[in-house]
């Protein structure tokens, strides 16, 4: 594993901890200002850090401040990190084994986030 891959994996664990506890820190410390964030479940795109901050603030303050993301598998390929994650929301609703691909720039900031999740809210 290269030093860049090690750095990106460490940054990904930091990103997950911040997502759980302080989404504004996550946005500011992990995402480049000109990042692109693709949420495939809802076909939503944030085109920069400020758009991401607005969405994360709403999710954390209005939807569920108890949300929790756990990385269950992780691997790095150069400037990209692939994760499998479990996410739980208030009331125990889970989106299990989602996949998130993070692409980092040379400074270790996320420039692209591709999030793929199953919609378990429609299950019985």
Q: What is the pLDDT along the chain (124 residues), one digit of tens a residue?
A: 999 999 999 999 999 999 999 999 999 999 999 999 998 766 789 999 999 999 999 988 888 888 899 999 999 999 999 999 998 887 666 766 789 999 999 999 999 999 998 765 555 4
Among 96, 95, 92, 114, smallest CA distance to 104 is for: 114
| Polymer length of the chain | 124
Owner of token pair 């901050």: 53
Question: What is the assigned CATH class of domain 3-118?
Answer: alpha beta
DSSP 8-state secondary structure symbol assigned to residue 59: I
The CA distance from 30 to 102, in Å, is 10
> Which residue intervals of 59-108 are DSSP H helices?
none
> Which residue intervals of 22-81 are DSSP H helices?
23-30, 49-58
Instruction: Answer for the pair 113, 38: CB distance below 8 angstroms, yes or no.
Output: yes
């Amino acid at each position: 594993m290269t030093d860049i891959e090690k750095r990106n994996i460490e940054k990904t664990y930091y990103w997950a901890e911040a997502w759980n506890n302080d989404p504004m820190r996550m946005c500011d410390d992990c995402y480049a200002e000109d990042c692109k964030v693709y949420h495939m479940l809802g076909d939503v795109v944030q085109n920069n850090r400020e758009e991401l901050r607005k969405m994360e603030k709403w999710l954390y303050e209005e939807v569920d401040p108890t949300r929790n993301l756990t990385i269950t598998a992780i691997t790095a390929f150069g400037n990209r990190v692939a994760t499998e994650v479990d996410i739980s929301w208030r009331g125990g609703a889970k989106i299990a084994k989602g996949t998130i691909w993070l692409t980092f720039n040379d400074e270790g900031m996320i420039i692209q986030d591709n999030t793929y999740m199953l919609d378990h809210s429609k299950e019985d």
